[in-house]
């Protein structure tokens, strides 16, 4: 196998698709169910207050990821992911390699945060291809294998081929460690306001919601079976809506979703109503649902657990009282909701 001599190159800061010379396009893993990483507890924090990040594997995919590449103050580049050609992520993600695999992890935004630095240099083949290697260990470079190994070391066995970050081996196939940077001139357009209609509403992290059963039938809770909701836009130029339960023959059919004591219920009276701001995120069909009330502040729908019967909260971000909540708000898929027309 021929080894080419890498050559120094300068990458203009900007947005790029990164394609493997041997095996083509790469994207990110399931944006709806990312890997949740819990960090170490800091002094004064409880187990529930553990800072969390979301991690997406960088994988072989036709839905190409859009990377942002910018030079660092020292040598090398920072590489991040803003989304794919089909949709943007709710938050920018740093590209990291904590082991022999490449991931995109929700970006650390604090002052002095440590980011993974990458070296990008010409492969020496003369075709514009580059090598992407860790600045900490230049022998470890991005490699995209053709398929999963026959005796994988990862359990459970993943259903995707992930970009690896390791030393090149004599058994690697030709050009599996070479990459082409394709400049992206047009970014995906954030989605428009949600239209009036009937929808299933699903929490991005924990799944479907429905009304409770028996004595708790007015509560809106986590449930394997989704309810159908009538979502009506009441401001043609804005994002204000009413949300009502649509369940023919049920005593609460047509009643609105309302907030009481920080929790979500179905109103037991036609005289009790609420207005919600359903604000689109940068990922298709995904929104935040905020209570439209100046009296109580920026509270919104949150589902904290997947366990059936867990009631949906209508929570406020109090950054002074709960210092970790700001990070949780930025990265928490439990605050995001997917609307699917029925």
For 137-172, what is each residue's pLDDT tens digit?
999 999 999 887 665 565 555 678 999 999 998 888
Residue 41's pLDDT is 44
Residues 84 and 133 in one domain: yes
Residue 213's pLDDT is 73
Residue 51's pLDDT is 52
What is the CA angle 264-269-273, rounded to 5?
Answer: 55
Residues 170 and 284 in one domain: no
Asked whether residue 174 is assigned to any structural domain, the reply reads yes
Cβ neighbours around 134 below 10 Å, total:
19
End-of-domain residue from the set 183, 218, 234: 183
End-of-domain residue from the set 183, 216, 247: 183
Determine contact, residues 305/222, Cβ cutoff 8 Å.
yes
DSSP, collapsed to helix, strand or coil, labels residue 48 as helix
Asked whether residue 30 is assigned to any structural domain, the reply reads yes
Nearest to 312 by CA among 247, 240, 263: 263
Residues 131 and 229 in one domain: no
Rounded distance between C-alpha atoms, residue 47 and residue 44, angstroms: 10
Asked whether residue 327 is assigned to any structural domain, the reply reads yes
Residues 179 and 202 in one domain: no
Residues 19 and 167 in one domain: yes
Where the chain has pLDDT below 50, the residues are 1-3, 32, 41-43, 45-46, 48-49, 109-113, 317-331
Token pair belonging to 193: 């306001």
Residues 177 and 223 in one domain: no
Asked whether residue 83 is assigned to any structural domain, the reply reads yes
Determine contact, residues 141/165, Cβ cutoff 8 Å.
yes
Residues 159 and 232 in one domain: no
Cα 48 to chain centroid distance, Å, stands at: 21
End-of-domain residue from the set 183, 215, 238: 183
Asked whether residue 44 is assigned to any structural domain, the reply reads yes
Residues 58 and 127 in one domain: yes
Q: Residue 139, by phi and psi: left (phi above 0), alpha (psi -120 to 50) or beta?
A: alpha
Residue 321's pLDDT is 37
Residues 305 and 223 in one domain: yes
Residues 154 and 267 in one domain: no
User: Computed over its alpha carbons, how large is the radius of gyration of the chain?
Assistant: 23
Asked whether residue 189 is assigned to any structural domain, the reply reads no
Asked whether residue 191 is assigned to any structural domain, the reply reads no
Number of domains in the chain: 2
Rounded distance between C-alpha atoms, residue 100 and residue 51, angstroms: 24
Residue 186: which residues within 8 A CB-CB, separation 6 or more?
none
Residue 299's pLDDT is 83
Residues 130 and 213 in one domain: no
CATH assignment of the domain containing 249:
2.80.10.50
Q: What DSSP state is assigned to residue 275? A: -
Residues 118 and 257 in one domain: no
Rounded distance between C-alpha atoms, residue 60 and residue 27, angstroms: 6
Give the structural domain span for 287.
197-341
Asked whether residue 165 is assigned to any structural domain, the reply reads yes
Dmax over Cα atoms in the chain, in whole Å? Answer: 77
């Amino acid at each position: 196998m021929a080894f080419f001599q890498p050559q120094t190159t300068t990458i203009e800061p900007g947005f790029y698709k990164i394609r493997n010379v041997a095996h083509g396009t790469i994207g990110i893993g399931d944006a709806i169910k990312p890997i949740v990483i819990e960090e170490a507890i800091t002094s004064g924090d409880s187990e529930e207050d553990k800072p969390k990040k979301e991690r997406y594997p960088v994988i072989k995919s036709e839905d190409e990821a859009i990377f942002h590449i910018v030079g660092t103050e020292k040598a090398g580049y920072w590489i991040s992911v803003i989304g794919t050609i089909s949709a943007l992520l709710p938050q920018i993600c740093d590209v990291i390699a904590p082991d022999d695999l490449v991931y995109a992890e929700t970006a650390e935004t604090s002052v002095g945060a440590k980011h993974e630095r990458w070296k990008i240099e010409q492969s020496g083949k003369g075709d514009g291809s580059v090598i992407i290697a860790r600045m900490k260990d230049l022998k470890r470079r991005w490699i995209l294998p053709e398929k999963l190994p026959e005796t994988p070391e990862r359990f459970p066995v993943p259903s995707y081929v992930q970009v690896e970050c390791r030393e090149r081996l004599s058994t690697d196939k030709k050009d599996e460690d070479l990459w082409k940077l394709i400049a992206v001139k047009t970014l995906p357009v954030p989605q428009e306001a949600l239209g009036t209609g009937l929808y299933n509403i699903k929490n991005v992290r924990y799944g479907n919601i429905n009304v409770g059963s028996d004595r708790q039938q007015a509560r809106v809770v986590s449930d394997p079976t989704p309810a159908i909701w009538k979502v009506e836009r009441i401001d043609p130029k804005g994002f204000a809506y009413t949300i009502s339960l649509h369940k023919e023959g049920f005593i609460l059919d047509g009643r609105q979703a309302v907030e009481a004591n920080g929790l979500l219920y179905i109103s037991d009276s036609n005289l009790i109503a609420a207005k919600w701001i359903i604000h689109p995120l940068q990922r298709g069909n995904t929104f935040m649902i905020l209570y439209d009330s100046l009296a109580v502040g920026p509270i919104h729908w949150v589902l904290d657990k997947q366990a059936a019967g867990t009631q949906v909260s209508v929570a406020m971000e109090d950054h002074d009282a709960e210092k970790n909540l700001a990070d949780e708000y930025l990265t928490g898929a439990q605050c995001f909701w997917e609307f699917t027309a029925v």
